[in-house]
Structure 1
Amino acid sequence: MATLTKVKLEQTIAKVVGQMKNMRGSIEETAPIGIISMENWEWPQGVGLFALHGYYRETGDRETLRFLTNWFDARIQEGLPDKNVNTMCPMLTLTYLAEETGRPDYLDLCREWLDYVMHDMPRTEEGGIQHEVTGSANEGQLWDDTLYMTVLFVARMGVLLKNDACIQESVRQFLVHLKYLTDPSTGLFFHGWTFLEGGHHFARALWARGNSWYTAGLVDYLDMAEQPEGVRLFLLSSLRRQADKLIELQSPEGAWHTLLDDPDSYPETSAAAAFAYGMLKAYRRGDLDAKHRDCALRALNYVLSSIDEDGVVRGVSYGTGMGRTLQEYRDIPICPMPYGQSMALLLLVEAMKHGDGSAEKEASETKAAAEAPISRAKGGRRNE
């Protein structure tokens, strides 16, 4: 990678990491547990921790490792929240720390939370994990978020404990969720499904970040656990069909709208980063094609332009519950969030692996060649 490009990316990464570690609330929150401050234990913090650990694995940065162990030690001492789909998310990172540090207290906690998932977590029909969260049981509901927040942890524990039952459970969850959430006409994913009320997809929202949980989560799932070959091929075919549609829906400036098929909804940066990360990594793995890489590079350029001088990732929507109307998604406020920082971090670290600086070079060329002016300032950058 060209020295200047590598230095620039490293400097941006350092700023993004610093902001994530020190993130505090910036708006009045509606979630029962605060989901902005990194001092809380919830799913956004879990997503952030996983990205930080990935950064540590790539760089060997001992300060980041200390941050992670100190974070878990502090939260454990404070007392952990009730177990549910979203509070399960930090446990994924703890599996890696348990393995690396050899600390039995970390592993015991992982076993305890895994036991809850495998035996006590509420299920829907056909055994899907019900998307129970803090303050809401969401009875009978499947959400696309669940795969990232809980199922990756189950798969990782299967590897750590050499327990095939966990791997098979992770496979079942992917298949059940794809069965009920896939839009057959586009290959994209609806935000949720309920088995109650006759069965329906709520607002039939093709929500960007919800879709991106699959794109970003699948490439790491395929890395962390071995699936039966037929399952692996099925999951990749779902990724390819999704990625093909994403190419069609990408905006001229390189982003995607928070409702993927609604150009009047605002562009959303965390989804752009997660889509780009998943497609770039899948291309490097040999699972997607050059056209998907080029799409990801346009998104990389968009994400880079959305990171301010202090390393704050802008244009990120607040936590998004299940909408009964599409307008509810359009009205979600925008503010810096841990998962905005983390998805950008995953993308930037992945971009460092793509040769001689071609990722940023090609992204810049895409920006220069674009005929349409960047319109984010006009298109719904609200509450920043």
Structure 2
Amino acid sequence: MTINHLQREEVEVLIAKVIAGMQDLEVINEEEAPFSMISMETWDWSQGVGLFSLYLYYKETGNREILNYLTDWFDRRLREGLPAKNVNTMCPLLTLSYLYEETRTPEYLVICEEWASYAVNEMPRTQEFGITHVTRDSRNEGELRDETLYMTVLFMGRMGVLLRNEYYVQESIRQFLVHLKYLTDTQTGLFFHGWSFIRRDNFARVLWARGNAWYLAGLVDYLDMVQLPLSIEIFLLASMEQQVRKLTELQADSGMWHTLLDDKDSYEETSATAGFAYGILKAVRKGYISETYRESGIAALQAVLNRIDVTGMVQGVSYGTRLGLTAQFYKDIPQSSMPHGQSMTLLMLVESLYHLDE
């Protein structure tokens, strides 16, 4: 099946399969984390990314079954009690902020206000006031990571708009700038996984694919959420174009990207490729980058289509990835069907609906 011959109805069938696959994910093997990154019945980053992709699909289609799934998911989690606040557990709140606008459920807004206030005013900071990438199992003192922008900063900016709180918006802008300062590889325009103010280095200096995908996919959505000062918007778009230009150079003949972008000995990874396809195609459609990059986005889309099995499960997705001290650490991360793989693929498929006739 190729994108050039797909009809809208066929894409929607694929979307339904991917959604069903996401909702039916099962934990088969013992997980490394102290909680499940695979099951959709957990409140954390992997599930949060999945929820947001479902919400965007609901907004595209008006499918009330998706809206009901989302509200039921949050209502169950609220009855169970929420986990401690950290960078990764912030992620589901982005979707909840939009569900508040859909449903006007007062409890949704109360929780969003509480967590947003914590993110802006109390969440641990590094030097230069970057958000410390605190997770459930580690405080990661002095560490910046590129996934923080997707997991927490999008929600921060979004709540600034929802609450008409300019300070929240400005704080989200500062986080983008601090992370870009310390994570950008000036030789390539790509992004390192992390930076330590204690070590004063970028750890293994790896150009981790999914971290770069978090940045690109997050930025195209952030630009939808927040009205930026022109100077900041131009700055961020320039970083986007620089990143995409290098990505096209490193794209494999298969249309995929390797889990370490500049290391052909590392495996080709599906969630990052789907995230890049989504980010590139949406950026082209929005006029953020040149039309010449569309071909790269379509090639990536086609490659991911080939990794969706008959049950709708997306194959070749790397498990949740901590900061590693060696390149080999990233090469050894196991692969599994994961909510973030399903969700990045869903985002890509929904975006593809705009490109079927081109």
Partner of 2:335: 334
Greater CA deviation, 52-61 or 14-23? 14-23
Say if 1:67 and 1:164 are closer, same or farther in 2 by CA, change over 3 A.
same
Indicate yes or no: 2:86 matched with 1:119: no
The answer to whether 1:309 aligns with 2:315 is no
- Superposition map of 1:155-166 within 5 A: 155-166=157-168
Do the aligned partners of 1:44 and 1:338 also contact (CA within 8 Å) in 2? yes
CA distance in 2 between partners of 1:273 and 1:304 (Å):
9
Give the AA of the match of 1:129.
I
Q: Of the candidates 32, 36, 47, which is equivalent to residue 49 of structure 2?
A: 47
CA gap of 1:4–1:344, structure 2 versus 1, over 3 A, is closer
Q: Deviations over 1:97-155 (max 9, x none)?
A: 01110011000000110111111100000000000000100000000000000000001
Runs of at least 5 residues in structure 1 that lack an aligned partner in the other structure: 359-384
Matched with 2:277 is: 276
- Tell me, in whole angstroms, the C-alpha distance in 1 between the residues paired with 2:307 and 2:243: 24
Shift in Å at residue 292 of structure 1? Answer: 1.2
Question: The residue matched to 2:257 in structure 1 has which SS?
Answer: coil
- Listed one character per residue, the Cα deviations across residues 144-180 of structure 1 (whole Å, up to 9, x for unaligned) are 0000000000011011111111110000000000000
C-alpha distance in 2, partners of 1:261/1:2? 29
**286-295 or 302-311, which moves further after superposition?**
286-295
Are the counterparts in 2 of residues 26 and 335 from structure 1 also a CA contact under 8 Å?
A: no
CA distance in 2, matches of 1:3, 1:184: 40
Residues 133 and 145, structure 2, Cα contact 8 Å, conserved in 1: yes
For the structure 1 residues 317 and 59, does the alpha-carbon distance in structure 2 shift closer, same or farther, using more than 3 Å as the test?
Answer: same
Q: CA deviation at 1:4?
A: 5.6
Alignment partners' CA distance in 2, 1:230 and 1:350: 27
Supply the distance in 2 between the matched residues of 1:28 and 1:330 (Cα, whole angstroms).
20
The amino acid across from 1:295 in the alignment is S
Alignment gaps of 5+ in structure 2: none
- Preserved CA contact (<8 Å) 1:269 1:314: yes
Partner of 2:242: 241
**2:221 matched residue in structure 1:** 220
Q: Please give the alpha-carbon distance, in whole angstroms, between the structure 2 residues aligned to 1:290 and 1:219.
A: 15
The alignment covers a number of residue pairs equal to 356
Shift of 1:33: 1.7
TM, length-normalised to structure 1? 0.91
| TM-score, length-scaled by structure 2 | 0.98
Matched with 1:154 is 156
Counterpart of 1:29? 31
Structure 1 residue 291 displacement after superposition: 2.2
User: 2:171 aligns to what?
Assistant: 169
Compute the displacement of 1:278 (Å): 0.3
Output the CA distance in 1 between the equivalents of 2:233 and 2:95.
23
Deviates more, 1:25-34 or 1:213-222: 25-34
| Aligned partners of 1:27 and 1:335 also within 8 Å | no
* Post-superposition offset of 1:201: 0.4
The equivalent position to 1:14 in structure 2, one of 13, 16, 31, is: 16
Q: CA deviation at 1:323?
A: 0.2
Per-residue CA distance 1:268-323 (angstroms, 9 max, x = gap)? 00000000100000000011112211100000000000000111000000000000
Secondary structure at 1:90 match in 2: helix
Partner of 2:351: 350
Structure 1 runs of 4+ off > 2 angstroms?
A: 1-4
User: What's the C-alpha RMSD, in Å, of the aligned pairs?
Assistant: 1.2
